[in-house]
Every structure is written in structure tokens, then in C-alpha cells.
Amino acid sequence: MIERFSLNQWTTRYWPLPDVVAGCAAAEVRGVGLWREPVAEYGLTRTAKLLREAGVRATSLCRGGFFTADGALADNRRAVEEAAELGAPVLVLVSGGLPGGSRDLDGARDRVADALAELAPYAGRYGVRLAIEPLHPMFCSDRCVVATLGQALELAAPHPPEQVGVVVDTYHLWWDPDAYRMIGRAGREDRLAIFQVADWTTPLPAGVLTGRGLLGDGCVELRRLRQAVDAAGYDGPIEVEIFNEELWAMPGPRVLALCLERFREHVLDG
Amino acid sequence: MIERFSLNQWTTRYWPLPDVVAGCAAAEVRGVGLWREPVAEYGLTRTAKLLREAGVRATSLCRGGFFTADGALADNRRAVEEAAELGAPVLVLVSGGLPGGSRDLDGARDRVADALAELAPYAGRYGVRLAIEPLHPMFCSDRCVVATLGQALELAAPHPPEQVGVVVDTYHLWWDPDAYRMIGRAGREDRLAIFQVADWTTPLPAGVLTGRGLLGDGCVELRRLRQAVDAAGYDGPIEVEIFNEELWAMPGPRVLALCLERFREHVLDG
């Protein structure tokens, strides 16, 4: 099952893109989760060529969304086009938080629904699947008003499953009393677009963004969640996506080796 | 409606207890939410007498819970007795997180249910109502495995409403897509034991415990939530409970005045 392992690029944030791809190929890792900024920096066409030549595929592109920002829709259309050119089957959407100074949470959530209605057919034409990512509720005000898997499924419901799915990320939903029930529902409704893993550790750092733990360092039942996602019918890639200053300070190949080791130990069957 | 205002003692953490009571009386504030540690320091019987003489009542006692700790049940029985002696109608329960090194979230949640079954009849005999407090999911691992109002209501369900209710705290549940629906359900099931208000601001500080915002400084629809709780049939005290280093550094009377001003502006009808 190690062939399902995919390295999300942000786990090795400062590892240059060609090195990530070469490093993955050398470690027989065949999937990477890409981010738009480093791809743009290296060049879109050039990145696509690099992947093809190395035999590494993009398992997802991070990220579209942030729908309350100016020009968001045009930018999201470009993100869809980029995913298509990279051969990434999934574009991860982080919805964005409340506009500055706003308290209108329902309104912000309505705008996400509106943006999806615009974007889904466009993604469909490019053969890219939008994946709504519920983020942990501690990000609700400033990053993502979509806070639970149940809410993501409600937002996906009006759209064909091949156009709109959801992200299941262990870091964001491990705490949810409805997590397993909603993973089952996501499977039945054919919405499981991508599965991401990171662990939960405390204390959280200031700003909380970079507090994610290496697999096995925290309290998340990673294997149980992976089994639940599998039981719901998902057999796609499993991206390791960890935002962590200590990992970012380490050499890329070392982080990749560590992630592979922990993935075997804590995510795969024992 | 200002008579519903209650100062939770932790908002003015370093204000000595007799000064809190005198300060409230001087400001015509008739309710305080007390904490066990400062009450124990000043003396339980002495605190009860102080309240009676000042004409200030305890709206709640914080807190019982932390059920996974050794000796938790005996300590919770003492907390019930203390609430009774103080005339506090409500004992707030923060369930506790996962035991050190554990990943068994379901198990920890089951132990909360077991502890409630032991404690509820005991509280009933003392005329004290237990109030299960769902904490924001960012506290799930280390402070409170009860993360949503819906989950708190499920835990309360086996017990008579006069023995077990729930806390609605705006800080902890403002993000929940089910918040308003669950407030309605809490009202129908007669579980609304106490209502607490604080605002949500970012960035969160390291450790996230002291990040609560002064009413009006953040993005929470405080008035709308207060109206929802009222519409669900709650007409009890509204405790202002804000953990915030800046407030803690200010003189108690100044904090109380500020809370009253913001309470009028952001919680009461405009």
C-alpha cells in the first residue's frame, strides 16, 4: 500500500521543486501534492514536463478557494487550468474566512456555495475535480468558514460528484464526534476526492498554523481514520501534509524518509 | 436587561475575591461566576457570607470535570458541595482531554458519560445542576473531549434536566454550522443552564488559552446568539468570561466597567 503515499509539497516547504520530484522518484514515491506558488515559480509547463519525465504524478494541486477575496473567481479558474495542465485530478479548495471586519458568517458561507456553482462546471470541462476542504474550526474566522466534513458535504451536494468532492484531512477533523459517520456518508455520496494525514500535538504555537505534528507524535487515530476512509470506498493517494517549522528546517530527503517511516508505522496496517 | 449581567471571576483573574464582590455591588452588578481556587483561598464559608452581605449571588461555580484525572469523582463531589454552600445553582463541567499518551477519544468520551451517571444524582441531592460545557475543538486533546453543543446534549440526555444541563459559551461554539439548531434543541429539552459570552479574535496566542476577545473586538455575532438563547427560553444570567492577558493586567474596576459598556453595546438589544 506504500504506493498510495504522496508527499504534499508543503511538508518540505523549502525543498526546491526539481529536488522534490527527483527525491520522490529516488525514494520510489510516485505521488506529490503540489502548491501553486512554487509551481508558478518553476514554471507550469516546465513542472508538467518534469513530472512526466520522472514518472511522478501530481495527486492534487493546493489550492483554490479564498472566495471572499477580490478577483477570486478568475483566480480559481486559472487554478483549474493549472491543475489540468499538471495532470492533477484534484484542486483543493480552502474557502477563505470572514472578510475583514465582517461578522456575517452565514453570508460568507453562502458566498462559498455561490462560487462553487460558478466554478464546478468550469472544472468539469477541464476534467478537474474540486475538493472542498473543511479546516479545523480554529481557522474559521481567518482561513476557512467550512469547518466540518458534514458542512463540506452539504456544499458539495448540489453538484455532480465528478465535479465536486471533499478533502478528508485527519488534522482538521479528528476531534469531530460525527467524523466517522460523515466519512461513511462521503463514501456513499461518492465525494472522497483526497485523503491527507497529519497528527495533532499541543501546545499549539502562536498563530496555530504551523502546529501540525509528524505522524505518530500526536493523539490522532491515524490508522483508524485511514481504515474508515478505505471502508467508505476510497483507494486513492494518501498525502502527508504537515506544516511544522522543525520539519521545514530539516533537509528534504530526511523529511521524506521520516514521513515514509512514520506512514508505514502509523497509517498502514500494522 | 443589564440585571442579567454576571462577571465571571476569571475575567478579572487577579482581582482579590472580596474586591470583586465589593466592586460588583458598587457597580450594581448582582451576579458573579466564581472559581473554586480563589474561593478555597478566601474560604468557602467566608465567601458565602461575603456574597450574602453584599447582595451578590453566585451564578455558577467553575469548575468540575477533568474526569480522566485520578480522584476525579471525589473532587467533583466536593465541587457539588461547594456550589451548594455558595448558593450557586450551576456547577460548570469541563470534561478534561485525553489522558497523557492516549489516542482513545471514544474511550475518553465514554468515561465522561460514566462520570455523569455517578455525579448527576449526587448533584440532584444538593440542588445543584451540572452544566456540561463543550469547549472549542482546539481544546479537544488537552482540556475537553466534549467539542460541540450537540455532543453535550447527547451526554445530558439520559439525565433529568434539573440535574444536568449544558453551557452555551459564544467563544466555543460560534463557528458551529449547527449552533443555532442545537441552541433551539437545548431549549426544547430544557438544558440551558448558563450562557457565557466572549469574542473570537485572531491571531491566537501560543497555547491558545488566553486568546479570548473583549466583547465587540472580534467576529462573533454575540447579539444574535443571545437572542437565539433567549428565544429558546433562557432568561437566566449572562456571564462575561474572557481569558485575556491584557485584561488581566488592568485594574479590576476598569475591566468591569469595560465589560458592562461592551455588554450593553454588543449583547443587549441595540
Interchain pair A138, B141: CB under 8 A = no
- Classify domain A2-266 at the CATH superfamily level: Divalent-metal-dependent TIM barrel enzymes (3.20.20.150)
For residues B87 and B49, what is the distance between their CA atoms, to the nearest angstrom?
A: 11
pLDDT confidence tier of residue A1, bands split at 50, 70 and 90 = low
Q: Is A159 at the interface with chain B, CB within 8 A?
A: no
Choosing among A173, A219, A221, A267, which should be mutated to test the B contact, i.e. which has the most B CBs within 10 A? A219
Which among B103, B136, B220 is the nearest to A138, CB-wise? Answer: B136
| CA–CA gap between residue B69 and residue B65 (Å, rounded) | 9
- Tens-digit pLDDT profile for residues A14-69: 999 999 999 999 999 999 999 999 999 999 999 999 999 999 999 999 999 999 88
Torsion angle of the four alpha carbons B176, A99, B246, B240, in this order, in degrees rounded to the nearest 10: -40
| Residue of chain A whose alpha carbon sits nearest to that of B103 | A219
What percent of chain B stands above pLDDT 90? 97
Chain A residues lying within 8 Å of B137, measured CB to CB: 136-138, 175-176
State the average pLDDT over residues B238-246: 97
pLDDT in tens, B51-97: 999 999 999 999 999 998 888 999 999 999 999 999 999 999 999 99
Contacts of B140 in chain A (CB under 8 A): 174-175
Considering only CB atoms, which chain A residues are within 8 Å of B68?
Answer: none
pLDDT at A69: 84
Q: B113 in contact with A at a CB cutoff of 8 Å?
A: no
So what's the pLDDT on residue B69?
A: 84
pLDDT band at B2 (very low <50, low <70, confident <90, very high): confident
Please confirm whether the linkage preceding B223 is cis (ω < 30° from 0).
Answer: no
- Alpha-carbon distance A220 to nearest alpha carbon in chain B (angstroms): 6
DSSP class per residue in B45-62: HHHHHHHHHHT-EEEEEE
Question: In the prediction, which pLDDT does B1 show?
Answer: 58
pLDDT in tens, A149-206: 999 999 999 999 999 999 999 999 999 999 999 999 999 999 999 999 999 999 999 9
Contacts of B105 in chain A (CB under 8 A): 174-175, 219, 221
Q: Report the alpha-carbon distance of residue A58 to residue A162 in Å, rounded.
A: 18
Quick one: average pLDDT of B234-244? 98
Closest CB to A221: pick one of B105, B109, B207. Answer: B105
Q: Is B45 on the interface with A (CB under 8 A)?
A: no
- DSSP H or E segment with residue B115: helix B105-126
Facing residue for A207 by CB, picked from B151, B203, B219? B203
pLDDT averaged over every residue in chain A: 97
Cβ contacts (< 8 Å) between A219 and chain B: which residues?
98, 102-103, 105, 141
Q: Residue A129's pLDDT band (boundaries 50, 70, 90)?
A: very high
Which residue ranges make up each domain of chain A? Answer: 2-266
In B219-238, the residues whose Cβ lies within 8 Å of chain A are: 219-221
Mean pLDDT value across residues A236-257:
97
Task: Judge whether A109 is closer than 8 Å to chain B, CB to CB.
Answer: yes
Name which of B204, B209, B210, B221 to mutate to probe chain A: the one with the most chain A Cβ atoms within 10 A of its Cβ.
Answer: B204
Helix, strand, coil percentages, rounded to 5, for chain B: 45, 20, 35
CB contact under 8 A, B207 and A203: yes
Q: Using an 8 Å Cβ cutoff, are A137 and A176 in contact?
A: no
The CA radius of gyration of chain B, in Å to the nearest whole number, is 17
Q: What is the mean pLDDT of chain B?
A: 97
Tell me what pLDDT residue A70 has.
82
**Which residue from A109, A140, A177 is facing B151, i.e. has the nearest CB?**
A177
Pairing of strands A212-213, A199-200: antiparallel
What pLDDT is recorded for position B167?
98
The single residue listed with the C-alpha cell 450562557 is B195
**Which residues, 6 or more positions from A218, have their beta carbon under 8 angstroms from its beta carbon?**
A199, A200, A201, B141
Give the per-residue pLDDT at B119.
98
Put simply, the answer to whether B221 touches A174 (Cβ < 8 Å) is no
The letter for the amino acid at B132 is: I
